[in-house]
Amino acid sequence: MPTTRRSLLGTGLAAAATLALPAVARAAGPRVVVVGGGFGGGTAAKYVKKLMPAAEVTLVERDKQFVTCPFSNYVIGGMEKMQTITHGYEKIAKRGVTVVHDEAVGVDPVARKVSLKGGTVLDYDRLVLSPGIDFVWGGLEGYDEAASEIMPHAWKAGPQTLLLRKQLEAMPDGGTVIIVAPANPFRCPPGPYERAGMIAWYLKNNKPKSKILIFDPKETFSKQALFFEAYESLYPGMIQWVGGKQGGKVTKVSPKEMTVEAEFGEEKGDVINVIPPQRAGKIAQVAGVTDEKGWCPIDPRTMESTKVKGIHVVGDACIAGAMPKSGTSANSQARNAAAAIVAMLEGKEPPEPSFANTCYSIVAEGYGFSVTGVYGATPEGIKEIAGGVSKLKAPAKDRDLEAAYAYDWYRGIIYDALG
């Protein structure tokens, strides 16, 4: 496809700007800047460097450590510790990726420059954005950043994960936990329901008179039948799901009263976990690659923004058709984007991508199941070729095996993205 083929220096202004620099300042290889050192960004940086060692790859990440959302539900349930889900950037730095801990605050797509909060300005030939999500504060009445200190979201892992864990530990037996699930699209479609399972696992063993209510504007959700089967067999009577049809849509929360107002009525909770509406991380908006709903349209063959040339968007921030917003999706999109970027920098045709996703959910020790899919790029976006969920009524040994596979998946993706 000739439109996506670009030379090493790009065209027009970008080339002129690069050539205007004194010879000594000119980078040895093409410069690729990646913003966001999570699943998408780490993978993109690592694979560009791997496929094109001459490239100068810079990874810009705000935080010194990456705390993963995957497995954070197991910390909340008490099955894992924060240490398990906390990772450094030393290994990826050893692979020759320059890691800069700063926040990207500006993008000039014409001069091809990214500016950082600390004052540094980075030139790029190709920019990858994988900033994940930001919350739409106030998108749910009563829920702003201050409210999240009382009713944690725990939808970005870190202090919020620990806050929710502590609240559960402090809750009396017989208490009510409320989970407010968001409308589509959002990060990790099975996440709220896995969380309900892990919280139930903790409560069953420690505070068995307690209850969990899930309020949901949706009428169906990911792996629903598998979650219901698990709730019923593992935690009978403990978890109640109130879906869209039953008035489960929450219209307002009140942190002072510890109440949520849903369409069916008001409910008081002892612990309230609000998963708020989301959009692409702010830098995507700053760069001008978001649409009116706050997500980033891309060309699935290259993951390049359809709004701004030279910027590729991967992970939760992008609109990836049939692919869910997951760490595995971000990782797969980033590998394909890296291959496309390298081809484009070499003036070659980008290779045809192949995408995959697998999301395991563990709802008790030794009880896991999964959703998986293989996807391809079409002119209408990313489409599923094959996939599906684990069998219902599977034998206990399969659930146990899938829980073990989840751990292997975690080891594998951490290695692929940051190792």
Partner 1 sequence: MQRHPWIIAAALSIASAPALAAPTVEAIARNCVVCHGPKEAGQVEIPKIANYPARKMVEMLTGFRDGQKEATIMNRISKAFTDEQIQALAAHFAGQ
Positions touching partner 1 (CB under 8 A) are: 328, 331-332, 335-336, 339, 351-356, 358, 370, 372, 374, 376, 378, 385-390, 394, 398, 401-402, 404-405, 407-409, 411-416, 419
What is residue 224's DSSP assignment?
Answer: H
Strands 133-135 and 311-313: unpaired
- Nearer to partner 1 by Cβ, of 277 and 381: the residue is 381
To the nearest 10 degrees (0 to 180), the angle between helices 159-170 and 191-206 is 40
- Nearer to ligand FAD by Cβ, of 45 and 147: the residue is 45
- Partner touching 66 among partner 1, ligand FAD, none, CB below 5 to 8 Å by kind: ligand FAD
Residues 350, 342 contacting (CB under 8 angstroms): no
- Partner touching 125 among partner 1, ligand FAD, none, CB below 5 to 8 Å by kind: none
> Hey, what are 227's tokens?
């979650």
- Partner touching 269 among partner 1, ligand FAD, none, CB below 5 to 8 Å by kind: none
Residues 166, 154 contacting (CB under 8 angstroms): no
**Residue 260 CB, nearest approach to ligand FAD (Å):** 19
Residues 56, 345 contacting (CB under 8 angstroms): no
Which residue of the chain is nearest ligand FAD when measured via CB? 38
Burial class of residue 154, CB neighbours in 10 A (0-12, 13-18, 19+): buried
What stretches of 379-410 adopt beta strand conformation (E)? Answer: 381-389
d(CA 297, CA 271): 37
Alpha-carbon distance values, 294 to 131, 144, 291, 411 (Å): 13, 18, 5, 32
**Residue 390 CB, nearest approach to partner 1 (Å):** 6
- Nearer to partner 1 by Cβ, of 50 and 113: the residue is 50
Task: Name the residues that contact ligand FAD, by CB under 6 A.
Answer: 35-41, 60-63, 66, 69-70, 72-73, 103-104, 130-132, 155, 187-188, 191, 281, 283, 315-317, 325-328, 330, 359-360
**Residue 350 CB, nearest approach to ligand FAD (Å):** 21
DSSP string, 36-80: --SHHHHHHHHHHHHH-TTSEEEEEESSSSEEPSTTHHHHHTTSS
What is residue 3's DSSP assignment?
Answer: G
- Nearer to partner 1 by Cβ, of 91 and 113: the residue is 91
**Residue 407 CB, nearest approach to partner 1 (Å):** 7
**Residue 330 CB, nearest approach to ligand FAD (Å):** 4
- Nearer to partner 1 by Cβ, of 162 and 394: the residue is 394
**Residue 320 CB, nearest approach to partner 1 (Å):** 14
- Partner touching 243 among partner 1, ligand FAD, none, CB below 5 to 8 Å by kind: none
- Partner touching 167 among partner 1, ligand FAD, none, CB below 5 to 8 Å by kind: none
DSSP string, 168-182: HHHSPTT-EEEEEPP
- Partner touching 408 among ligand FAD, partner 1, none, CB below 5 to 8 Å by kind: partner 1
- For tokens 């609109």, the residue is 319
> Hey, what are 202's tokens?
């903790």
Count other C-beta atoms under 10 Å from residue 237's C-beta.
8
**Residue 343 CB, nearest approach to partner 1 (Å):** 11
What stretches of 109-210 adopt beta strand conformation (E)? Answer: 113-116, 121-123, 126-129, 133-135, 176-180
- Partner touching 401 among partner 1, ligand FAD, none, CB below 5 to 8 Å by kind: partner 1
**Residue 50 CB, nearest approach to ligand FAD (Å):** 18
- Partner touching 73 among partner 1, ligand FAD, none, CB below 5 to 8 Å by kind: ligand FAD
To the nearest 10 degrees (0 to 180), the angle between helices 396-418 and 327-345 is 40
